[in-house]
Structure 1
Amino acid sequence: MPETKVAALEATGSDFKTFHHTVIKRSALRPDDVAIDIKYCGICHSDSSIVEGIDSIFKRPIVPGHEISGIVSAIGQNVHKFNVGDRVGVGCFVDSCGKCKYCQAGEEQFCEKGVISVFVGDDYAGNQSEGGYSQSIIVKDRFVLSIPDKLDLAEASPLLCAGITTYNPLKRYGIKKGSKVAIVGLGGLGHIATQFANKMGAEVTVIGHSESKADEAKEFGAKAYEILKTQEDFTRLDGQFDFLLSTVAVKLDWNEYFKLLSVKGIACSVGLPIENQEFSLQAMFNRQNTLTVSNVGGIALTQEMLNFAAENDVHPKIEMIGIDDVPAAYERILNSDVHYRFVIDMSTLKK
């Protein structure tokens, strides 16, 4: 079984300073596997959230990371889609049953047997699944994504989670030329969602909380940038939007946000606040509004998203860090001090 150097965290709760370099064994290359030399791995807020709760979830060292980009180093004998040297990515999951109605529909994230996440839990054989804070990884070919040449390999990493998380609802709800879209939040998710919606032809308004991001919102393709503090602010934008996408993990006053929607307008959240959300059905009734959420997308949709990003010049804004900067990056994420996504240069993981 091949060995690889990783950055692992012992089960010590929220003490992020205990990341250490160690060696783990990956599975041997099977006929349908692709071996990948990892070049970059993005950091998602869910990485730090899972690591923060590691004492109650896992009783072992854990290797986080589910926004993986790299180069194919070897392929199994039955792999025909990829070749050594190809630019590839691995996202949130690495296996599913492949047989249930959801897998057959290209929605592996809802696999009835249970999708295998890249680093949360074990695979079907009971082996530990470890993520992308690593020099290399071995993944079944049908869960490996091709990264188009037009995409920078480092910038592609956040697209494998933040990108598909925001592309999925925009595609599912038919955002197109003429759509009027509001994006709540201009963080790691919001700045990518703004670019996607703009490139789909929508008229985009970003709803933020800081004047300092107004210019950047317009650079990402927003037509307008609004800060809504009072009922008068919400009334001013009454009925203006067909679709509202919340990318923030905070409790919103949904009864006020419903005012922004047109008749049959849809509000969708990809941000996952811990607090229970409260709203009145009466606030939704007169315009027959919908409130929903969105998960990540399946493999086929993720590949479509990568191709769309390449063809339409969608570029996540990243801050490159070394592996030893990860603890500080986690703290900065918790303090909302990142501009806009952290990406780890895996060459900094000591040989």
Structure 2
Amino acid sequence: MKIDFLYLNEADMIEAGVLDAVGCIETMRDTLSLFGKKDFLLGGPKGDEHGLQMNFPQKSDIAGFPLDDGPDRRFMAMPAYLGGRFHIAGQKYYGSNSHNSELNLPRSILMVTLSDVDTGAPKAIMSANLLSAMRTGAMPAMAASYLANKSSKVLSLIGPGVINKCALMCFMEVLPDIETIKIRGSSSKSKTALAMKEFIEEKYPQVKEIIICGSLEEACRDADVVSEAMSVTKQDMEEFHLEWFKKGATVFSMGSFLYRQYDEFLSTTMVVDNYGMYEKYLSNFIARGPVDEFGNKREWCIMGIHFVHLVKTGQAKREEVINLCDIVNGTARGRASEDEIVMCSIGGMPLEDLSWGFDCYRKALEKGIGTKLNLWDEPYMK
């Protein structure tokens, strides 16, 4: 049996609508609905693993062996199946190295593969840097449609890289009254912060004020919606403080959220995209070193882990951490009052890469985009 599959490079993906913010938001809504209905499968023996990561050692006795000579040198494979209207299997695969910036390359270089669920045959292989960034940015915007105050006017972007650029594109679709955007980069003169400012000025002329903030506190204060997507080493992280957030603020974290006063989250509404994922993250932290009965000796910097820690130590009940999928499916409330502070952790799952990749693939087929490649006309051996 002949097997062909579609190859989509980055230009093909753009033509297939990978940057369609509205479409991506709705695809993420469908994805989270299916996640809540358990119509999915992830990798690992229990079907719930985020992925399998390969890290390089910092030293080796083998001559020429690749070493972790900087942060974030790794490879990762993230297989998944998603049901419903998608009914697709596949994986996101990427290599990452912080030194890529010296070569004018993104830190991570990503591909997504889609496969037939029954035969395992490839259906598509696609460039996925934009795909992954858009689905990551669309998730908090989709969540904001349930969690943010509809009258939100001030948006703060903490970490002005590609992820928050895509998040901005999506936020502007669900929060049309945004008139002030605050930007926090590594400094008030960071190139990425200035580039973000220029992007906003060009694409969103309706925004009345753009502020490049000199501190994390300045970026958080008075913001109606905070979108955190930082990519920094742990030693460079700044600590957040709850007192910085106004009444009614909605805070989304997609990256690093360093916070030491965990119990202060109890006065907020806590929301997660995948509680089990953060449970595994916490257990990994505990397994790596000694901690006291509250897990305080090892410091983690992912918002969702803070929430799980509160539950594991008996300071919060499991039902106090709301599943985003339950909000999407109408079985849990979203924002209950205009004054509550909502904290939402978006860690991301390969399900989202599959769903948005699938929709882009379908659009490519409709428009005749991409390159058809042949795996075989007949397998040489059966």
- Return the TM-score normalized by structure 1: 0.43
Structure number with the higher helix fraction is 2
Report which structure shows greater RCO (CA 8 Å, sep ≥6). 2
